[in-house]
Amino acid sequence: MDGAMILEWVIKSIFLILVMTGGFAYVTLYERKVLARIQVRIGPNRAGPFGVLQPVADGIKLIFKEELVPAKADKLIFTLAPVLTVIPALIITAVVPWGTEVTLFGRTIKLYLADINIAVLYLMAVTSISIYGIALAGWSSNNKYATLGGLRATAQMISYELALGFAMIVPVMMAGSMSLVDIVESQKPVWFVFVQPLAFLIYFIAALAEINRSPFDMPEAEQELTAGYHTEYSGMKFALFFMAEYIKMIAISMIGSSLFLGGYRGPFVDQLPALGPLYLFIKVAIVLFVIIWIRATLPRIRYDRLMQFGWKVLFPLALLNVFVTGVVLILVGG
Interface with other proteins (CB under 8 A), residue from 22, 41, 72, 329: 41
Instruction: Mark 303-332 with x for binding to other proteins (rule: CB under 8 A) and - for no binding.
Output: xxx---------------------------
**φ and ψ of 102, to 5 deg:** -125, 155
108: left (phi over 0), alpha (psi -120 to 50) or beta: beta
| Cα separation of the two ends of the chain | 41
Interface with other proteins (CB under 8 A), residue from 24, 78, 145, 238: 145
Decide whether 63 or 290 has the Cβ nearer to other proteins. Answer: 290
**φ and ψ of 141, to 5 deg:** -70, -20
Interface with other proteins (CB under 8 A), residue from 128, 186, 226, 234: 226
Interface with other proteins (CB under 8 A), residue from 114, 301, 307, 319: 301
Decide whether 137 or 292 has the Cβ nearer to other proteins. Answer: 292
Alpha-carbon distance of 81 to 136, in angstroms, equals: 6
Decide whether 21 or 226 has the Cβ nearer to other proteins. Answer: 226
Least distance in angstroms from the C-beta of 116 to other proteins? 38
Which amino acid, 257?
Answer: S
Beta-carbon contacts of residue 177 (< 8 Å; ≥ 6 apart): 117, 183, 186
Residue pair 276/99 in contact by the 8 Å Cβ criterion = yes
Instruction: Please tell me whether the peptide bond between 215 and the residue prior to it is cis, using omega within 30 degrees of 0.
Output: yes
Instruction: Mark 146-185 with x for binding to other proteins (rule: CB under 8 A) and - for no binding.
Output: --x---x---------------------------------
Q: Is 295 an interacting residue with respect to other proteins (CB under 8 A)?
A: yes
Q: Is 192 an interacting residue with respect to other proteins (CB under 8 A)?
A: no
Decide whether 42 or 330 has the Cβ nearer to other proteins. Answer: 42
Q: Is 66 an interacting residue with respect to other proteins (CB under 8 A)?
A: no
Residue pair 198/321 in contact by the 8 Å Cβ criterion = yes
Interface with other proteins (CB under 8 A), residue from 221, 252, 284, 322: 221
Alpha-carbon distance of 209 to 206, in angstroms, equals: 5
Q: Is 4 helix (H, G, I), strand (E, B) or coil?
A: helix
Decide whether 194 or 293 has the Cβ nearer to other proteins. Answer: 293
Interface with other proteins (CB under 8 A), residue from 70, 215, 235, 266: 215
Alpha-carbon distance of 219 to 227, in angstroms, equals: 8
State the residues that interact with other proteins by CB under 8 A.
35, 38-41, 144-145, 148, 152, 214-215, 217-218, 221-226, 295-305
